[in-house]
Structure 1
């Protein structure tokens, strides 16, 4: 009798279909505070996913340690596809510079989607409004032109990439450690900084008001929010350093779940309504998954390593 019950139980277990994925809300972890570019881009894109998945994608902000607390939480989470990380290249700047022992390879990439254009801006009284006038000012007054950056963070690498392409040395500009787009913008408006590297969307209202001036947009095409602002490439400088947001899952997440998520991410990225919402924030779409995404991530990381080595950013 006992044997018959066990067999019956086994048959019943086989008859129960596997649960469909996803069957509960997905948590999208943003490693920075609400209101910033990472948070805004994640929330817009999560909204774009509403009709692409049978469950909601909920944005959760986890701050601290320049993103590391959030990164580690997702990295070490149960690999079931329900907890994901929304990260840009800033995560990959920590390992080469010695702030971390991991990079993007510690995760399973799902898809890239949103791109936030970045640029170099100056105070209105600086007399700098182009790569040419910046170069002239720097060469005439070595060490007097100041730029605020989060050392070894995204803004720092963006400036170094631009300087490298423009033929400017670190000895010719004075770098001031300063985190936060708004903090750097205010300092530039007040005349305490000459240059501010920042997201185009963050700078645009102050460009409109005349408080700061665009020097160069670091993308391959002009930003729709600042249509008159020339790119570095238009000015003869091969510098592109946009902020690419990629969604990552824990390393051993089953491939079928990665594929389901990637399908939804790619569909949302191609939705004209989603593209329009992002455009209002100076954000565009550059969707990639699978092998294409792997190649993109490797290429961006290689550039970070090259800049780290060239400018001796590795901490002891």
Structure 2
């Protein structure tokens, strides 16, 4: 063996040793740069603000900046597709909610939750069946009787293919109401629905504390039923759906997702940072008092089970929705 060959072999062995030693170190060093958090909605809405608040706290535990990037468009699918196609290295995540599954069920995209690696559920904003103060309905349980007595005349507002569209489909199923007996009225956004309810153009709409809290407090709107397993602290007198014999829990469930194939240790690192952030009392207080939402942190198998159950319920509801209508 020549001297040059020996030197090459020694160099190769040294490089291999360095590579072996560097492997775990590289894995342990994540993240080494900022993480982009894609929000598939425009700035200023509840989803945007809540994720920004959580990210600002989570980055203190992650050790690197988490940079929110608004990427609205195409019914919130422009941002989700961007993350779907991003490198699975943990440096790009999606901050979204049920719209991932809703867009798939409505035929807008060909992917759903299973196209991503779930990182963590962070908050839920509980949905509330509501009406105006002068309406004869006093509770959600009154709605079914009104529909039976006035088939085709009771008006329900919704944003097509949105959370509230699915809310009503699931409510009708739980309350024994046929979709053929109701009149669905579509609006572009929540603001239009609120204006329509104030003008008495509709009978019922779906609100939450961010969109309806001030109206409940002023007495202009009436909360008929809270779709949660317990009464809300901010609405202690409003009964739950279950208290009225309606088996329905419904919320806008916000979570973090990574591209499919992201190494599990990186997913776990991200989840740990968000989990630590949600243990901050000041942050929890803001989420609950300013945004009428609850902190609910799930990761790993628990979050996957939640997504599976969520998708199952939405899929059943989709069977009762005419997306072309």
Structures share a fold, TM > 0.5? yes
Unaligned runs of 5+ in 2: none
1:205 — aligned with what?
214
Q: Deviations over 1:102-155 (max 9, x none)?
A: 101001111111111111111222222312332333222222221111222211
1:275-286 equivalent positions in 2, closer than 5 A: 275-280=284-289, 281-286=291-296
Deviation, 1:221, is 1.3
Match of 1:18 among 17, 23, 26: 26
Unaligned runs of 5+ in 1: none
Q: TM-score, normalised by structure 2?
A: 0.89
Aligned residues: 315
1:83 — aligned with what?
92
2:298 — aligned with what?
288
| 1:49–1:268 Cα contact (<8 Å) kept | yes
For the residue of structure 1 that corresponds to 2:118, the secondary structure is: strand
| 2:55–2:274 Cα contact (<8 Å) kept | no
Q: Deviations over 1:225-272 (max 9, x none)?
A: 222222111212111111111210001111111111111222223333
Deviation, 1:54, is 0.4
- What is the rounded CA distance, in whole Å, between the counterparts of 2:62 and 2:37 in structure 1? 14
Q: Which moved more, 1:8-17 or 1:255-264?
A: 8-17
For the residue of structure 2 that corresponds to 1:284, the secondary structure is: strand
| 2:129–2:224 Cα contact (<8 Å) kept | yes
1:53 — aligned with what?
62
Q: Which moved more, 1:102-111 or 1:201-210?
A: 201-210
Q: TM-score, normalised by structure 1?
A: 0.92
- What is the rounded CA distance, in whole Å, between the counterparts of 1:314 and 1:187 in structure 2? 22
- What is the rounded CA distance, in whole Å, between the counterparts of 1:35 and 1:174 in structure 2? 31
Deviation, 1:73, is 0.2
1:303 — aligned with what?
313
- What is the rounded CA distance, in whole Å, between the counterparts of 2:93 and 2:73 in structure 1? 17
Match of 1:247 among 245, 250, 256: 256
1:30 aligns with 2:34: no
Deviation, 1:191, is 1.4
Match of 2:282 among 248, 257, 273: 273
1:181 aligns with 2:199: no
- What is the rounded CA distance, in whole Å, between the counterparts of 2:137 and 2:13 in structure 1? 76
| 1:123–1:193 Cα contact (<8 Å) kept | no
For the residue of structure 1 that corresponds to 2:168, the secondary structure is: helix
For the residue of structure 2 that corresponds to 1:86, the secondary structure is: strand
2:131 — aligned with what?
122
| 2:169–2:318 Cα contact (<8 Å) kept | no
Between Structure 1 and Structure 2, whose CA radius of gyration is higher?
2
Deviation, 1:284, is 0.8
- What is the rounded CA distance, in whole Å, between the counterparts of 1:42 and 1:8 in structure 2? 49
| 1:88–1:246 Cα contact (<8 Å) kept | yes
- What is the rounded CA distance, in whole Å, between the counterparts of 2:148 and 2:176 in structure 1? 11
Match of 1:100 among 106, 109, 117: 109
2:235 — aligned with what?
226
